[in-house]
């Protein structure tokens, strides 16, 4: 604690070495939150997209309203509602679980639209052929329609995954010690914002860049 460098712009290597382990632990939490949140978003988004194709108009309207409301309001406020308000009336979840829930629900609204577009893009003949073959409806979905739809929207899904990975830094505001949270904890004690936030930026960039290259590659592989 001897080094209170609030107005000190020298770049300290020692600080960087000191903070790195905490930041790497934070990175792992960020990636875990992203992975769990994204799985939730995929599942929920898929359910919403399939349910929306039913013939019940009330369900369609409710889903459209839900998707519009969730998409049009900031994730930060949704996290605050889940973290500060929900425990007053329901279960009190750990910060990380709350964050995963928030990320998953928020992004499910985007992904349901993506899936909807993908399902619409599967040629009608595929449905008709399945009916002609007397294939049960559930089997038509998971053997015929969804594999083709998934292939169509894979690049977009990837972009949303990167977006969620960056958005996961918001979990710092509900006390999750992910990458940014770990950084702010350390910097708050030592005032070494320069070094700490620079490393955070570099870590975000490296992982984000790898992700986005990977998605470009998949996109090219799938292009035909």
Partner 1 sequence: MDFVLQIYPALLRGALVTVLLTVMSGAAALAVGFAVGLARLIPSRWVSVPLTIYVEVFRNTSSLVQIFYFFFVLPLVGIRFEAFTTGCAVLALNFGAYLSEVVRSAILSVDKGQYHAAVALNMPVLLRYRRIIIPQAIPVMLPAFGNYALEMLKATSLVSLITITELTFSGAQLVQFYGHPTEIYLSIFVIYLILAIPFIVLNRNLEKRAGGKWKTRVPTT
Which residues lie near partner 1 (CB under 8 A)? 7-9, 68-69, 71-78, 80-81, 84-85, 88, 110, 117, 156, 159-160, 163, 166-170, 172-173, 180, 184, 187, 193-194, 197-198, 200-201, 204-205, 208-209, 212
Pick 126 or 212: Cβ nearer partner 1 = 212
Shortest separation between residue 168's beta carbon and partner 1, angstroms: 8
Instruction: Compute the CA torsion angle 149, 158, 35, 121 (nearest 10 deg).
Output: -20
Nearest approach in angstroms of CB 138 to partner 1 is 29
Instruction: Provide, rounded to whole angstroms, the least separation between the CB of residue 26 and partner 1.
Output: 12
- The smaller minimum CB distance to partner 1, of residues 141 and 199, is found at 199
CB 56 within 8 A of CB 92: no
Smaller CB distance to partner 1: residue 17 or 210?
Answer: 210
Query: Considering the complex, what minimum distance in angstroms separates the CB of residue 137 from partner 1?
Result: 26
Structure tokens at 146: 């969804």
Tell the smallest beta-carbon distance from residue 213 to partner 1 (Å): 10
Alpha-carbon span 204 to 30, nearest angstrom: 10
Backbone angles phi, psi at 55, to 5 degrees: -90, -5
CB nearer partner 1, residue 73 or residue 92: 73
C-alpha Rg value of the chain to the nearest Å:
22
Distance CA 11, CA 103 (A): 35
Task: Name the residue nearer to partner 1 (CB basis): 141 or 160.
Answer: 160
Q: Rounded distance, CA 121 to CA 117, Å?
A: 6
Closest CA to 67 of 85, 92, 47: 47
């Amino acid at each position: 604690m001897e080094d209170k460098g609030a107005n000190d712009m020298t770049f300290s290597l020692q600080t960087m070495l000191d903070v790195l382990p905490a930041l790497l632990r934070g990175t792992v939490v960020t990636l875990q939150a992203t992975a769990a949140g994204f799985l939730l978003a995929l599942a929920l988004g898929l359910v919403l997209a399939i349910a929306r194709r039913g013939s019940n108009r009330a369900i369609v309207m409710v889903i459209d309203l839900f998707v519009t409301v969730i998409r049009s309001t900031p994730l930060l406020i949704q996290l605050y509602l889940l973290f500060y308000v929900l425990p007053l009336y329901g279960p009190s979840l750990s910060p990380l679980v709350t964050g995963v829930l928030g990320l998953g629900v928020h992004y499910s609204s985007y992904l349901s639209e993506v899936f909807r577009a993908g399902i619409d893009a599967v040629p009608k003949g595929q449905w008709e052929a399945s009916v002609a073959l007397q294939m049960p409806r559930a089997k038509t979905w998971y053997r015929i329609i969804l594999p083709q739809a998934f292939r169509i929207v894979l690049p977009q899904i990837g972009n949303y995954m990167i977006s969620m990975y960056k958005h996961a830094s918001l979990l710092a505001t509900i006390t999750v010690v992910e990458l940014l949270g770990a950084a702010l904890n350390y910097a708050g004690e030592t005032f070494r914002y320069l070094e700490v936030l620079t490393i955070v930026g570099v870590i975000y960039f490296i992982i984000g860049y790898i992700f986005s290259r990977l998605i470009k590659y998949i996109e090219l592989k799938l292009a035909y």
